[in-house]
Amino acid sequence: MVKENIPCSIGELGQKLESVKEPFMKHVGHVKHHFHATRLLKENLQEQEIFIHIDFSKNYTAKHSEEVQSMHLGASKKYIILHTGFIYRNQGKPIGFCTIFDNLQHNPPVI
């Protein structure tokens, strides 16, 4: 997202805020419900159940510890994707994990 100055009057600003208020509040309600439902699931796990919470992937560019100048001038670099998450059980602390992929596709089978 890029910040942008948009000149307008106080009235125009009020109209714009009013037009986005309802969708924003609906979004906030969905987020609150999601967090509440997630917390309830984690707190009420049975002995044989686990809850796996996986974060969205993070894309990174691989960098060599000693790169030659040609690498800085547009040579193709290797990209990796990290998926981080936690496994929750009904007892004990959550177990953190991270998977590393060099496949940059973002379709469901990859994730």
Domain residues of the chain, as ranges? 8-44, 47-111
Query: Residues of 88-107 as b/e, b for ≥16 C-beta within 10 angstroms?
Result: beeeeeeeeeeeeeeeeeee
Average of pLDDT values for 71-90? Answer: 77
pLDDT of amino acid 12: 94
- Bridge partners for 85 per DSSP: 54, 97
Q: Which two tokens stand for residue 20?
A: 């986005």
For residue 68, pLDDT beyond 60: no
The pLDDT of residue 110 is: 60
| pLDDT at residue 80 in the model | 81
- Condensed to tens digits (0 to 9), the pLDDT of residues 5-44 reads 989 999 999 999 999 999 999 999 999 999 999 999 999 9
Global confidence as pTM: 0.61
